[in-house]
Chain A
Amino acid sequence: DIVMTQSPDSLAVSLGERATINCKSSQNILYSSNNNNYLAWYQHRPGQPPKLLIYWASTRQSGVPDRFSGSGSGTDFALTISSLQAEDVAVYYCQQYHSPPFTFGQGTKLEIK
């Protein structure tokens, strides 16, 4: 099974500042045949279902603000929020959909400093 490890477990950032969450997979999740990384990022606010932010590691889902961006390839990935807003307080998860079981990272709790 592919293990997804996020860092840090929690993060406190000032409003307007940059927040970066890292995600590392135990195996390469890049398919060379299509050059796609099978990695998604989700935002999960309390009391709501998770929301897809990023897929293919760096493609922003429709309607997601452009302050959210994804990067990385192979086994190392990152989600960056360029200018933190109050509504961004949530738990963020990465997930690989390269091969089942489609494992999630343990989550990163993002708070306002």
Chain B
Amino acid sequence: EVQLVESGGGLVQPGGSLRLSCAASGFKFSDYWMHWVRQVPGKGLVWVAHIYVDGTGAAYADSVKGRFTISRDNAKNTLYLQMNSLRAEDTAVYYCARGGSGCDCWGQGTLVTVSS
């Protein structure tokens, strides 16, 4: 069964850092682009970042560029999102998703709350 499981969310103060992880199973992780997408509670989906299959390239939404870094470890079948200089507006549920022609598999999401 194809599965993505996020972890690492929680409460962090403004200006702080957090690293999210996404453990993949049931498919060949190294064959797929991977994405992070977030949703502020009650609002719409917002694409955050994606990374190439081998980790050599990535792209970011303007709102997180320079603060967030996406990475992957294909040996561990794990996707990461390092989030620095966090702001209140980064509060959201963060989903990892498998890419390709659209995102065909999503994790359950992990909640990040940025508040003092």
User: Could you tell me which A residues sit within 8 Å of B by CB distance?
Assistant: 1, 40, 42, 44, 49-52, 54-56, 59, 61, 91, 93, 95, 97, 100-107
Contacts and interface: CB of A to CB of B under 8 A. Distances in A.
5 contacts: A49-B109, A55-B102, A91-B44, A95-B103, A97-B99
B102 A50 contact: no
B47 A50 contact: no
Interface string B54-87: 0000011110000000000000000000000000
A106 B109 CA distance: 19
A50 B61 contact: no
Contacts of A59: 101
A15 B87 CA distance: 43
Given A101-B62, A102-B50, A52 B44 contact: no
Interface of B: 35, 37, 44-47, 50, 59-62, 95, 97, 99, 101-104, 106-109
A54 B102 CA distance: 8
A73 to B, nearest CB: 16
Contact of B46 (A61, A91, A104): A104
B103 A101 contact: no
Contacts of A55: 101-102, 104
A52 B104 contact: yes
B68 to A, nearest CB: 13
B106 to A, nearest CB: 4
B45 A50 contact: yes
B95 A93 contact: no
A52 B109 contact: no
A101 B47 contact: yes
A102 to B, nearest CB: 5
The 4 closest A-B pairs by CB, nearest first: A40-B102, A100-B59, A49-B106, A55-B102
A50 B44 contact: no
Contacts of B46: 104
Nearest to A56: B101
Nearest to B6: A49
A39 B61 CA distance: 18
Nearest to A36: B101
